Chains A and B, each alone.
Chain A
Amino acid sequence: MGNIITGILFAVIAAIGWGASAVLSRIALEKTDPRLATIVSLFFSSIIMFSISLSTQFNEFEKLIVSDFLWFFSAGLTSFAAGRLLNYVGIKNIGVSKASPLFGTSPLFAALLAIIILNENPTIMLGMGIVIVTFGIILITKSK
């Protein structure tokens, strides 16, 4: 039970962290180009992340082989180079209150891709989720 409460606490911290990150980047984007802002924020993020992983999981680094880096590169390209840059362009143009929920639809696309690429079975619940998300997107694009 204690573990579950710890897990829930960390989940809340994660949600607050991402919410805060979107707002902080919105403030920074008032005076900066999104391309430059993305590069600078990725620089800081990678330093912080390497510090955490080196201090907590140093032994895991020794297990890596050269071909693993191709996977990391692909993930970096889609997740951070394209993903964060496009997210920042979105935040700059429509604001954090509209861009964040739209950006949050990524699990929908992950689910669709999993059906296509990983041959996962589509379910009625998934269909329901897609319909609700689509209505949410329409409402956000209609709000002035």
Chain B
Amino acid sequence: MNKFNINTGKKIKNSKKELIGYTSSLSAAISYGISAILAKIIVGQITTPLIASSFALFFGFFTLSIIFYKQLMNIKSIDKKTFLFLFLAGLASCIGVGAQYYAMNNAPVILVAPITGANALFAILFGSIFLKKIEKITPLTVIGAFMIIIGIIIIILSRT
């Protein structure tokens, strides 16, 4: 009886965790969708994507530092290795933004968008290589990712 209760408890905990994860990821996509509209206005009328990204990143950092100042007090709890991974994650995303900017300057959107849109496949590929111990990648996830990427490519191309 106890075992059943423990398992049920674990299942409820896992499904709650999954719900938070799915909701957060889709909310992040909506948030980025809104920012893409803002970016279209900013890049069209105000300044270049690199300068806009620099200030947007700073304001994002500044806002979160104020909202979560209590968590920021625990910064010493982060070990050096985690700091390094966060630095590399930030560096890799900057390379992504910068490279996309130069790609758009050199090739038409019809070629660039499908390639950059496939970044989730690289995440899955790298995940299957480097995250073997902490992540299980199922065939259904890969098929779902492919469908999303194909759908997104169609959406992007329909707007160009």
**Using a Cβ cutoff of 8 Å, how many contacts connect chains A and B?**
479
Whether B89 and A24, one on each chain, are in contact in the complex, defined by CB atoms closer than 8 angstroms, is yes
**A-side interface size class:** 35 or more
Whether B91 and A48, one on each chain, are in contact in the complex, defined by CB atoms closer than 8 angstroms, is yes
Question: Which residues of the other chain, B, contact A142 by a CB distance below 8 angstroms?
Answer: 140
Given A76-B60, A104-B117, A28 and B141 contact (CB-CB distance below 8 Å):
no
Whether B112 and A23, one on each chain, are in contact in the complex, defined by CB atoms closer than 8 angstroms, is no
Could you tell me the distance in whole angstroms from the C-beta of A15 to the nearest C-beta in chain B?
4
Could you tell me the distance in whole angstroms from the C-beta of A98 to the nearest C-beta in chain B?
6
Q: How many residues of B contact A (CB 8 A)?
A: 119
Whether B106 and A3, one on each chain, are in contact in the complex, defined by CB atoms closer than 8 angstroms, is yes
Given A26-B131, A104-B120, A44 and B107 contact (CB-CB distance below 8 Å):
no
Whether B18 and A44, one on each chain, are in contact in the complex, defined by CB atoms closer than 8 angstroms, is no
Could you tell me the distance in whole angstroms from the C-beta of A34 to the nearest C-beta in chain B?
9
The docked-state distance in angstroms from the alpha carbon of A46 to that of B91 is 10
The docked-state distance in angstroms from the alpha carbon of A84 to that of B63 is 13
A67-84 vs B: 1/0 string, CB under 8 Å? 011011111111111111
Given A18-B93, A94-B22, A101-B144, A7 and B61 contact (CB-CB distance below 8 Å):
no
- 17 contacting pairs across A/B (C-beta < 8 A): A6-B106, A12-B115, A19-B121, A19-B125, A22-B123, A23-B126, A39-B71, A44-B91, A45-B61, A46-B60, A52-B94, A80-B57, A81-B60, A118-B37, A118-B40, A134-B151, A135-B147
